[in-house]
């Protein structure tokens, strides 16, 4: 399938005009629409009509093994069912190629709109071009994205930078200065936010405190925590941020095996605030992401686009996270001892 840019070059039009012509936008003349669609078909572009007859929506997510994405799938399905719509789910993985393949696969189905969760970090020109192709969809589309790019479609994000800042501000307020990270490469958006904020605050970013790998979920957290305890040296990390709660649960297991007490010896914060947190022996301090609200908003924006295509205004929405403090964080041991000494005087 040709890229939107190639159709633009063939017709002598800009990409935005091509995109709008393929979607039959009312401000594009019939002659231009005909020119663009004829060129697109000649080049092998998969033209789809935005049929009101279909009541099926496509949802692309990276995976469904985590609580975060399974909750997203359940919420989208529930919100669509309320409106008389059904859903097709395609798993796209955590790279732009996988998402793009899922996108092409989805276009083969009789769908009236699509919700795409990209969940990858754009760091190359080719990736940005591919992402741009997804965004210039010929059907109504909502993009749930970690990337700070301006695109001509409804885009929803969670403010990861703010989430990381909330977590670090909490640890710093408790007295922590040696702060580490446990995570997987697929969640590097949080790792990058953490290292940026530590540097901004003038706090050390020590390589031996930053543990990332390809393993996911509890196994990834367990292995990274073992590496941290084995390799960190002095000064030791007194707190760590886990890229999401299931990774934090694996880290808790590793700490327990090594006789490291949480939070007395090391504090830990997770992301996503999964329901299991209320039933753990050590309840986890976690960033609560508004997954349910995000998913419901994605459905609402998509429905607005489908039913009010001519008047729909593209929106770029950032949802704010919330820190939930529980029992896995406390002041570092040295800080507590110093406070006790000061009080005794």
Each of the 345 residues of the chain gets a pLDDT tens digit; together they read: 456 788 888 899 988 888 778 776 777 888 888 788 778 877 766 665 544 468 999 999 999 988 889 999 999 999 999 999 999 999 998 887 888 889 888 888 889 999 999 865 555 555 556 666 676 667 889 999 876 666 778 999 888 899 999 999 999 999 999 999 999 998 888 999 999 999 999 999 999 999 999 999 999 999 999 999 998 788 999 999 999 999 999 999 999 999 999 999 999 999 999 877 677 888 999 999 899 999 999 999 999 999 887 788 889 899 999 999 999 999 998 755 554 443 434
pLDDT reported for residue 83: 95
245 and 213 both lie in a single domain? yes
Give the count of beta carbons closer than 10 Å to the beta carbon of residue 198: 21
67 and 147: one domain? yes
Point out the domain boundary residue: 47, 62, 77: 47
Are 34 and 134 part of one and the same domain? no
Tell me if 184 sits within 8 A of 158, measured CB to CB.
no
* Residues 123 and 62 reside in one and the same domain: yes
12: CATH:
1.10.260.40
Residues 64 and 13 in one domain: no
**Domain count within the chain:** 3
- For residues 277 and 134, state if they share a domain: no
End residue of a domain, out of 47, 66, 81 = 47
What does the radius of gyration of the chain's CA atoms come to, in whole angstroms?
23
Q: Alpha helix (H) ranges present in the chain?
A: 4-11, 15-22, 30-42, 67-82, 96-106, 125-135, 160-174, 188-201, 217-231, 245-257, 291-307, 333-344
CATH number at residue 109: 3.40.50.2300
Q: Do 65 and 111 lie in a common domain? A: yes
Residue 180 sits in the same domain as residue 275:
yes
203 shares its domain with 265: yes
Which tokens in the block code for residue 132? 């741009």
Q: Which domain holds residue 13?
A: 1-47
Same domain, 119 and 148: yes
Backbone angles phi, psi at 50, to 5 degrees: -85, 70
- The number of CA neighbours under 13 Å toward the Cβ of 20 is 16
Residues 25, 134, single domain; the answer is no
Q: Domain check: are 249 and 330 in the same one? A: yes
| pLDDT for res 104 | 83
Per the CB < 8 A criterion, the answer to whether 137 and 109 are in contact is no
pLDDT of residue 340: 44
Measured CA to CA, the distance from residue 222 to residue 209 in angstroms comes to: 15
pLDDT score for 345: 41
Q: At 181, phi and psi to the nearest 5?
A: -145, 140
Phi and psi for 22 in degrees, rounded to 5? -65, -25
Q: Residue 135 in contact with residue 152, Cβ under 8 Å? A: yes
């Amino acid at each position: 399938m040709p890229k939107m840019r190639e159709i633009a070059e063939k017709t002598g039009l800009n990409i935005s005009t091509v995109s709008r012509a393929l979607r039959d936008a009312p401000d594009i003349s019939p002659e231009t629409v005909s020119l663009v669609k004829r060129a697109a078909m000649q080049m092998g572009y998969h033209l789809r009509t935005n049929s009101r007859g279909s009541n099926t929506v496509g949802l692309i997510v990276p995976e469904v093994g985590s609580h975060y994405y399974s909750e997203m799938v359940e919420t989208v399905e529930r919100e669509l069912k309320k409106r008389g719509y059904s859903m097709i789910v395609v798993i796209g993985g955590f790279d732009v190629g996988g998402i793009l393949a899922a996108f092409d696969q989805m276009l083969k189905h009789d769908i009236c709109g699509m919700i795409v969760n990209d969940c990858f970090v754009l760091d190359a020109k080719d990736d940005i071009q591919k992402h741009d192709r997804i965004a210039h969809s010929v059907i109504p589309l909502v993009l749930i994205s970690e990337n700070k790019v301006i695109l001509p479609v409804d885009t929803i994000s969670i403010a990861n930078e703010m989430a990381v800042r909330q977590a670090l501000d909490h640890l710093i307020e408790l007295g922590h200065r040696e702060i580490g990270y446990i995570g997987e490469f697929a969640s590097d958006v949080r790792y990058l936010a953490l290292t940026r904020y530590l540097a901004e605050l003038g706090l050390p970013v020590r390589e031996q405190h930053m543990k990332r790998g390809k393993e996911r979920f509890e196994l990834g957290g367990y292995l990274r925590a073992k590496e941290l305890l084995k390799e960190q040296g002095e000064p030791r990390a007194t707190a760590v941020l886990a890229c999401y709660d299931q990774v934090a649960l694996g880290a808790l297991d590793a700490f327990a095996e090594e006789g490291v007490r949480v939070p007395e010896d090391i504090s830990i914060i997770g992301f996503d605030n999964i329901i299991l947190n209320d039933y753990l022996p050590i309840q986890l301090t976690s960033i609560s992401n508004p997954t349910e609200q995000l998913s419901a908003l994605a459905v609402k924006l998509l429905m607005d686009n489908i039913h009010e295509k001519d008047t729909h205004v593209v929106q770029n929405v950032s949802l704010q996270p919330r820190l939930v403090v529980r029992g896995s964080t406390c002041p570092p041991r040295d800080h507590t001892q110093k406070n006790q000494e000061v009080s005794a005087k």
